[in-house]
Structure 1
């Protein structure tokens, strides 16, 4: 149920690839949001979900994002080069509501950060100004954790477990999936490395045993292995192709069983690449053979400009689709 991979390519761009793994369509829409927009963090699809002291703010930065169910932001980047990604985490628990702190419905969590922060450090500072409020979308409780990165290559993983905020902040935190919480994932990765060395494998190779299933632990370890092996790219095109190769390796095929529950399969719905250096956003729908992308500097991002949207579920879309966006009311 989602994988995120950060890659600092060296002489080229800082890139992040992610998969969106979900049992049904999240109704993704590519959306450009200009600066200066007023937001209400207490509403969800027009309904009030934080009745007491909702967080309200005005966007400082423009952003290019993928929305989820038209009610929040799942993924994207802003004009300053901050990227943000929301991934599922069953054990998320922000704790009991404190009405003395402005409440932010959790589906707008990363939009709030993209609106107000230029860097990972600035985004972490913004967390103190609000309290997350869990919500339900399409019958699913939105229990999530967040990965952040910026154009300098800085990175952070943010989780709320048993009412406690846990932040892993370091450019070395490049991989993220789902359960278990991040500190346990790091422990499991170290154990896997130890077992591989015990088998006599001191370096990478085709004989190194890698976990190959679709659960979060296997995807985490596979993405960490292949992400660490990426060669220096010759240009931006090769860099995007390389990070996409790893995200495809960590993707979930159609029909692959995950676990018991409302749905037993969580196949990859789409993949994205955030180019934080060039402010370029790539999108690949799993049911379409085409890669498409948009560039933030192609849009009017000034206060008062309209929001711009594009439905990516169009087999005729391919390449740079910046000119295909159309004005639309802001989704939130």
Structure 2
């Protein structure tokens, strides 16, 4: 007896092919020593012939166990930031004997809704989300039948949830303060159209300029660049003005790389300060400083918060600690080549 065409083979199909009961087939596949070696071999041969795979998720749910999985939802898997964040989440999950299901939303809220609903339907134990926008009702744990949710990199809006964030405002403020201290008073700002990170980094930038009495010109601010080529074009337009900026602050690595290209192509010595480190930054041979941080640490922090909620849920159902908002620090690395000193 074979499985129906187009359907997955069942344990009953395996038992029928091996000429044993479904219960005996199950025990044989589990390695039960009470099943004879000959019967076990026959059952395993039948399972191999039918390409049978046990549905561990369904089995676990029948036994009242959890799925053993957590979901991680990010906005752009092509960005190295998110792959490193995922490594941090996976490290913590692995230490707990759990697996991570990673999904990409392409920064679209509607896609995020679909992904989160699907993860909830699959009964994941918890979900970590880098939210795509300000519409977050679908991330509320009460909407998700009390599946714990932790937000990473961007805070909750209109919902109550734990979050792990970077010090976007503080890092931008420190970078801009260094540029002003270097004597720059015409500083261009380039960033992506992100709802939270770019806005916080722009806020840090504005705060320093206002405190220093430096007017912020609209022509020197652009928050629409998602890719390197567009950032290069926008930075080039600023540099080609009659009174160009003497420095740039960039709110993410793509904008930093675009600005560096525009500066290098023109043979200029314009100072560049970026947010987010990137490979080969130390090889560019130009005035370049970067606000950096540890994306894996952010992933680990978000995962630790999620598992803390899971531990609470198992220990005392219905009782939980106060919502936690953890902000991880940034630091600055200077890739500007040293100036040779005269002998």
Q: TM-score, normalised by structure 2?
A: 0.24
> Greater strand share, 1 or 2?
1
> Greater helix share, 1 or 2?
2
Q: TM-score, normalised by structure 1?
A: 0.25
